[in-house]
Amino acid sequence: MNCISKKQWHRYERDGFLKLGKLLSDEDLSALQEEIDAIMIGSANLNYDKLTMQLDSLTGKTKDTGAHTHGSKGSTLNYRKIQQLEYDPVFLEYLQRPIFREACNYIYGADQPIAIFRAMFMNKPAGRGTWLPWHQDRWPVLDRDPQLTIWTALDPSTKENGCLQIVPGSHRKGLINQESGAGFLTEEQMEEHCQPNDIVSLEMKAGEVTLLHNHLLHASDINKSSQSRRAFSVCYMDAATKDERDGITYPIAFGEGALTSDSVLMAMAN
Ligand SMILES: O=C(O)CCC(=O)C(=O)O
């Protein structure tokens, strides 16, 4: 039985996003919150060299964020971004939920092998955070564009603490910054495509999940509140996607060779 109806998919195709509501029980939400805090503090049972971790900026400006490289940058909750979270058994189990397989089946075709382009924690620490400019999720190193990101609020996500801002329907414009091939817009393109009347603040309760088309224009502000804005976002792609850089392959979420908690524990030990 499918969890996502045809009517919902119709809305997704029209708007470029679809709120699925609260998929995490309070217990499961606490488990993810505790795990990410343990990772930041340095007490998680992990090989930190498998993760890439970036500290938040002190100024709210992207240019002032720390290096986004492998390994811990110290025991603090002031991280901006942590990637390769598929190598954490708690996050792996979550991102392999059947409803996410169902979404991938719809987008990429039934039972198509699916890779994880990015399993990412994105944080706006209380009273801090960094402005993320308007962009589409697109990477010129890939031979085709991934289509689907699934974004889970680990805290209430509000205008005050830097929730996602989106331009509904903008995915239908295709790639806007053709010249650079990257997803970030120029000043002129922002002026043209992101007028205040076009923008919707995607507020969500903790534990709520939203599907995002990767070409949907989105941005997020700094956090002006005392509530952190933690989120987990996973970009799922067709496993046949090739990265033009030498030696870069992506782990499998669904299909033959998919990561398991055992394979992750082994990878962590090496
Ligand atoms: O969480 C955010 O503020 C933005 C995340 C984002 O750009 C993404 O998931 O692609």
Q: What is the pLDDT of residues 20-77, one digit of tens each?
A: 999 999 999 999 999 999 999 999 988 999 999 999 999 999 899 999 999 999 999 9
136 — pLDDT class (breaks 50, 70, 90): very high
CB-based contact 174:135 (threshold 8 Å): no
From the CA of 1, how far away is ligand 1's center (Å)? 30
Q: pLDDT tens-digit profile of 73-88?
A: 999 999 999 999 999 9
Average pLDDT over every residue of 188-192: 96
Q: pLDDT tens-digit profile of 17-30?
A: 999 999 999 999 99
- State the pLDDT at residue 164: 98
Average pLDDT over every residue of 118-146: 96
From the CA of 68, how far away is ligand 1's center (Å)? 15
CB-based contact 147:107 (threshold 8 Å): yes
User: How far apart (Å, rounded) are the C-alpha atoms in residues 28 and 209?
Assistant: 13
From the CA of 196, how far away is ligand 1's center (Å)? 19
221 in ligand 1 pocket by Cβ < 6 Å? no
- State the pLDDT at residue 182: 80
Q: Is the confidence at residue 270, as pLDDT, over 70?
A: no
33 in ligand 1 pocket by Cβ < 6 Å? no
- State the pLDDT at residue 190: 96
218 in ligand 1 pocket by Cβ < 6 Å? yes
Specify the CATH number of the domain 51-57+77-269: 2.60.120.620
Q: Is the confidence at residue 121, as pLDDT, over 90?
A: yes
231 in ligand 1 pocket by Cβ < 6 Å? yes
- State the pLDDT at residue 268: 73
Average pLDDT over every residue of 152-164: 98
Question: Which atom of ligand 1 is nearest the CA belonging to 218?
Answer: 7
Domain boundaries of the chain, sorted by first residue: 51-57+77-269
Tell the residue nearest (CA) to atom 8 of ligand 1.
233
137 in ligand 1 pocket by Cβ < 6 Å? yes
- State the pLDDT at residue 48: 94
Average pLDDT over every residue of 219-241: 98
User: How far apart (Å, rounded) are the C-alpha atoms in residues 91 and 87?
Assistant: 8
Encoded tokens for 105: 């089946």
User: How far apart (Å, rounded) are the C-alpha atoms in residues 216 and 172?
Assistant: 8
Best of 65, 68, 122, 148 for a ligand 1 pocket test (most atoms within 8 Å of beta carbon): 122
Question: What percent of the chain has pLDDT above 70?
Answer: 99
233 in ligand 1 pocket by Cβ < 6 Å? yes
Q: Is the confidence at residue 93, as pLDDT, over 70?
A: yes
163 in ligand 1 pocket by Cβ < 6 Å? no
Question: Which atom of ligand 1 is nearest the CA belonging to 120?
Answer: 9
CB-based contact 106:7 (threshold 8 Å): no
122 in ligand 1 pocket by Cβ < 6 Å? yes
Q: In 3D, which of 57, 75, 74 has the Cα closest to residue 66?
A: 57
